[in-house]
Amino acid sequence: MSQDLGKVSYAVLGLDLTPVEVEAAAGDIKAYPMPMHGEVVAFGVYITEDFAAHAVDPKVELTNRSKIGGIDTSLKILTLGSSNAALKRSDGTKAAQTSIVEETDLDNGQVVLVKLEGVARKFRAGDVLVFEKNTAAGEIGGAYVPFVVITLGGLDLVDESVWIET
Q: Tens digits of per-residue pLDDT, 18-57?
A: 999 999 999 999 999 998 889 999 999 999 999 998 889 9
Angle (CA) 59 109 152, round 5°: 70
Helix, strand and coil content of the chain, in percent to the nearest 5, comes to 5, 45, 50
Query: Model confidence at 142, in pLDDT bands (50, 70, 90)?
Result: very high
Query: Residue 72, class by beta-carbon neighbours within 10 Å (0-12 exposed, 13-18 middle, 19+ buried)?
Result: middle
Per-residue pLDDT reduced to its tens digit, 58-80: 999 999 999 999 999 999 999 99
Per-residue pLDDT reduced to its tens digit, 144-158: 999 999 998 877 777
* CATH assignment, 2-154: 2.60.120
Domain ranges across the chain: 2-154
| Amino acid identity for residue 56 in this structure | V
Query: Model confidence at 94, in pLDDT bands (50, 70, 90)?
Result: low
The Cβ of residue 99 has, within 10 Å, a number of other Cβ atoms equal to 12
Dist CA 113 CA 111 (whole Å): 6
150, 127 contact by CB (below 8 A): no
Determine the pLDDT at residue 105.
84
Higher pLDDT, 117 or 148: 148
DSSP single-letter state for residue 154: E
Q: Tell me the Ramachandran region of residue 158: left when phi exceeds 0, alpha when psi lies from -120 to 50, beta otherwise.
A: alpha
Determine the pLDDT at residue 7.
60
Dist CA 153 CA 104 (whole Å): 39
What are the two backbone dihedrals, phi and then psi, of residue 105, each rounded to the nearest 5 degrees?
A: -70, -20
pTM for this model (two decimals) = 0.86
Dist CA 46 CA 60 (whole Å): 12
Determine the pLDDT at residue 59.
96
